[in-house]
Chain A
Amino acid sequence: EPEVTQTPSHQVTQMGQEVILRCVPISNHLYFYWYRQILGQKVEFLVSFYNNEISEKSEIFDDQFSVERPDGSNFTLKIRSTKLEDSAMYFCASRRRVRTGPVNTEAFFGQGTRLTVV
């Protein structure tokens, strides 16, 4: 069964350092997303990406964040200068379409990358 894969599973970084979280979405999917979940809290939307550009982003997704799809398979989230409050679980998700006629399509989530900023 196709799945979204994320690497690494756990990343520890020093405050102020840059991190890149990597995701390989399902191969025929067209819509890509990053979400984050601070421990014990709800899953929050960060950014959506379609047709090689950001289609929507949340207030959380400030200038410290960027996304890229450098080739046909990877989708990355970069945090330029990490802060303690960036510590969270980051989930990548992908979707084939938003809607096919009346049918909504499922978003598939990866296992997540736990980012710990120390």
Chain B
Amino acid sequence: QQQVKQSPQSLIVQKGGISIINCAYENTAFDYFPWYQQFPGKGPALLIAIRPDVSEKKEGRFTISFNKSAKQFSLHIMDSQPGDSATYFCAAFEAGGTSYGKLTFGQGTILTVHP
């Protein structure tokens, strides 16, 4: 019930290509969906986030698409660059109710962008 499932585990993209990472959740109480980017030896850093009352959010080359009925959301990285090579985690949490902001993470996707 609390899981967030993420795919693929790894992704290789050529420079300039589109990277797409998918996540699915079951807990309908989740109401905030951030994506984190993690470089080796570093902590996760917030990349972009979405609430379920919108279907899409774009920030620069990064776009989240959200399908509430399917309980799925995805990250699209347009014009992928070698500097985007990192591990990407989707996450979810219940911002309302008695939640204290615990994040539930997906399994992570290792993105490699070849020059």
Cα separation A98 to B34 with both chains bound (whole Å): 13
Question: Size band of the B side of the interface?
Answer: 20 to 34
Contacts A42-B108, A109-B44 given: A50-B100 contact, CB under 8 Å?
Answer: yes
A-B contacts, CB under 8 A, total: 66
Chain B residue nearest to A112 (CB atoms) is B43
Contacts A104-B51, A107-B46, A111-B41 given: A42-B106 contact, CB under 8 Å?
Answer: yes
Cα separation A109 to B101 with both chains bound (whole Å): 13
Interface string of A38-81 (1 = CB under 8 A from B): 00011111001010000110000000000000000000000000
Within 8 A of A (CB), among B22-54: 32, 34, 36, 41-46, 49, 51
Chain B facing A: main interface SS: loop
State which of A48, A99, A111 has its C-beta within 8 Å of the C-beta of B95: A99
Chain B residue nearest to A46 (CB atoms) is B102
State which of A4, A33, A43, A111 has its C-beta within 8 Å of the C-beta of B89: A43
Query: Considering residues A35, A41, A42, A48, which has the most beta carbons from chain B within 10 angstroms of its beta carbon?
Result: A42
Query: Considering residues B36, B44, B89, B108, which has the most beta carbons from chain A within 10 angstroms of its beta carbon?
Result: B44
Distance from B4 Cβ to chain A, minimum over Cβ atoms (Å): 9
A107→B101 contact, CB < 8 A = yes
State which of B34, B102, B106, B108 has its C-beta within 8 Å of the C-beta of A45: B102
A48→B42 contact, CB < 8 A = no
Within 8 A of A (CB), among B90-115: 95-96, 99-108
Task: Enumerate chain A interface residues (CB-CB to B < 8 A).
Answer: 4, 31, 33, 35, 41-45, 48, 50, 55-56, 91, 93, 95, 98-99, 102, 104, 106-107, 109-112
